[in-house]
Amino acid sequence: MNEQLHFADSGEAADLAAFLGRLVHYDRAAAVRLQAGGGALAVFGRPPSFDVLAIRTVRLAAPVATPLDLTVSAGELLESVDEAAACATVPGPVTGPPWTGVLPPRGGWQQLPGLPGSEAIRTAVAGAVAEFRARDEALQPQHRTRSERDRIGREIWSRTLGDTELPLRAVHAAQSLGFLRPIRSTVPAAAPAPAPDAPDPVALFASGSWLRLRTPYGSVATRRPGRNGGLGALQVRPV
């Protein structure tokens, strides 16, 4: 009998379902690697074309009795999520694609300076999307090919954000996966506004050759430029 996962509340189940739904939207055959230990479940996915790993952490109702680490179908896991009951059934394992063996390190992360604020990040992504659309529409019919569009996309999304090494494609992935949406307010309307110097909830970290953009809704990780750039050429190894 497949293992049951019980989440902390229905909101955690809904957020997991939304994440899985976006992965399946980009790839109907998407796989995810699950790692559960203590009171949390980490779900790793790789949306095609973005060249990043996406990570969604879900709080569990109670610590798991036995650590869980396997790769499953994202679609099957999505179908098993019961938001009202705040639970899901772990599907049977599948043979994972190569990226499932090259997850980012668990420790050693150091926060990096130079990342713009959340609003500036969303503005940068919107500007890059608008630029791509404008340049695509300006192409002559004979030049409107997949290779030319890919060239324009690589040029735009390989640019770095602010004073960091983080490529815009990683930020675009975070936006497309719903990781950069405004934070839902749980503070009463009469409560005072947050202090002007309150830390921004979006932050950039590095560990070895990896960069990770962390938001309240999830993270995206990618290799640092010039260090086996991207994910495609990495060696497969267990983590």
Residues in CB range of 95: below 8 A, 6 or more apart: 71
Q: What is the pLDDT of residue 225?
A: 73
pLDDT per residue over 134-172, tens digit each?
999 999 988 889 999 999 999 999 999 999 999 999 999
Q: Residues 53-106: pLDDT tens digits? A: 999 999 999 998 889 999 999 999 999 999 999 999 999 999 989 999 999 998
Least confident of 106-110, 184-188, 211-215, 227-231: 184-188
In the prediction, which pLDDT does 49 show? 82
8 Å CB contact between 138 and 128: no
Q: Which of 158, 162, 155, 106 is nearest to 135 (CA)?
A: 155
Under the banding of pLDDT at 50, 70 and 90, the label for residue 186 is very low
The yes-or-no verdict on residue 232 having pLDDT over 70 is no
Q: Find the length of the chain.
A: 239
For helices 146-157 and 118-138, angle between their N-to-C axes, nearest 10 degrees: 150
Crossing angle of helices 168-176 and 146-157, in 10° steps, is: 100
Q: How confident is the model at residue 1 (pLDDT cuts 50, 70, 90)?
A: low
pLDDT score at 66: 87
- Closest by Cα among 230, 129, 213 to 171: 213
pTM of the predicted structure, to 2 decimals: 0.85
Which regions of the chain does DSSP assign to beta strands (E)?
4-6, 31-37, 40-45, 53-59, 68-73, 87-89, 110-111, 203-207, 210-215, 218-223
What is the reported pLDDT for 200? Answer: 64
How big is the CA angle at 121 (ends 116 and 125), to the nearest 5 degrees? 145
**Cβ–Cβ < 8 Å for 24, 76:** no
Task: Indicate where the chain has its CATH 3.70.10.10 domain(s).
Answer: 4-101
Q: Where are the alpha helices (DSSP H) in the chain?
A: 10-26, 74-80, 118-138, 146-157, 168-176
* Cα–Cα dist 123/101, whole Å: 34
CATH fold of the domain at 4-101: Proliferating Cell Nuclear Antigen (3.70.10)
Q: How far is CA 105 from the centre of its chain?
A: 15
pLDDT of residue 197: 47
pLDDT digits 0-9 by tens, 28-49: 999 999 999 889 999 999 998 8
Does residue 34 contact residue 71 with C-beta atoms inside 8 Å?
yes
Q: pLDDT at residue 189 above 70?
A: no
Mean pLDDT of the chain: 87
To the nearest whole percent, how much of the chain has pLDDT over 90? 74
**What is the structure's pLDDT at 201?**
87
